[in-house]
């Protein structure tokens, strides 16, 4: 009886380092990290006609945890927000690096940093950890949304260090199902209110009985303002 390929790889040691390619051309440690991302809580980002937002599942229902300490949408700068899926401890390192980069840019150039420069720096660092020995890949996918020239921009970086700009995207648990729904229902002319309603509708459909609005956090930016606004739980449904 022939041994499954995964077991062959494990016996031959191809999954023991992030820098060793398998005979099929895979970096197995990177692929394992991608599975970690899919176990993370879901986030949806969307560029709308009047702004951009990220809706994220905090997946925290422990009554002993202080709610404000379990944020899922992070502030990078006054005009940039970010959400993650995967190992939050790994994400914290990347988020802090992005925050420092944004601060340095303001001090050096006296102007806000472009969102793409943030995601590019994050992606470059993640790529390094797929190339050098003695370290494992970052087990996190990062979504960055921000304002540039009074227009919303949305980017996502994967485990390998690739990044793309999106009109709308999802990361974390059930991301494939959520993206299938977004491809059908997303329209560029959606307003923030309509886009948020659509995101909630899709999450509710995908999660089914597991959906609880109290677990969700929303952060959004309007085209006309460089100001991050936040809502949580049932207050998200009251957005005007």
DSSP 50: T
Q: Using CA atoms, how far apart are residues 227 and 79, in angstroms rounded to an integer?
A: 6
Look up residue 126 and give its two tokens.
């993640």
CA distance 49 to 220: 13
Helix (H, G, I), strand (E, B) or coil at 18: coil
Retrieve residue 48's tokens: 């709308």
Regions of the chain where pLDDT drops below 70: 1-19, 240
**How confident is the model at residue 4, as a pLDDT?**
60
Write down the pLDDT at residue 9.
52
Rounded CA separation 154/148 (Å): 10
Q: Is 214 exposed, middle or buried (0-12, 13-18, 19+ CB in 10 A)?
A: exposed
CB-CB contact of 138 with 33 (8 Å): yes
**Res 23: pLDDT:** 74
* CATH superfamily placement of domain 40-238: Aminohydrolase, N-terminal nucleophile (Ntn) domain (3.60.20.10)
pLDDT at 36: 84
pLDDT of 3: 46
Distance separating alpha carbons of residues 174 and 170, to the nearest angstrom: 9
Of 164, 218, 165, nearest in space to 192 by CA? 218
3-state secondary structure at position 31: helix
């Amino acid at each position: 009886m022939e041994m499954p390929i995964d077991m062959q790889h494990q016996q031959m040691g191809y999954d023991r380092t992030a820098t060793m390619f398998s005979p099929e051309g895979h970096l197995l440690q990177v692929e394992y990290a991608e599975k970690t991302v899919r176990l993370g809580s879901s986030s949806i980002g969307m560029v709308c006609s009047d702004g951009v937002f990220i809706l994220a599942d905090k997946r925290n229902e422990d009554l002993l945890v202080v709610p404000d300490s379990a944020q899922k949408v992070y502030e990078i700068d006054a005009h940039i927000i970010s959400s993650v899926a995967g190992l939050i401890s790994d994400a914290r390192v990347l988020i802090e690096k992005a925050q420092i980069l944004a601060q340095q840019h303001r001090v050096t150039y006296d102007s806000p940093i472009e969102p793409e420069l943030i995601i590019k720096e994050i992606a470059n660092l993640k790529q390094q950890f797929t190339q050098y020995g003695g370290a494992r890949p970052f087990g996190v996918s990062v979504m960055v949304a921000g304002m540039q020239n009074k227009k919303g921009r949305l980017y996502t970086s994967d485990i390998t260090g690739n990044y793309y700009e999106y009109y709308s995207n999802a990361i974390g648990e059930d991301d494939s199902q959520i993206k299938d729904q977004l491809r059908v229902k997303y329209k560029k002319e959606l307003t923030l209110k309509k886009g948020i309603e659509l995101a909630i509708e899709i999450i509710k459909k995908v999660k089914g009985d597991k959906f609880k609005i109290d677990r969700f956090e929303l952060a959004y930016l309007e085209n006309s303002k460089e100001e991050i606004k936040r809502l949580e739980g049932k207050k998200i449904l009251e957005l005007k």
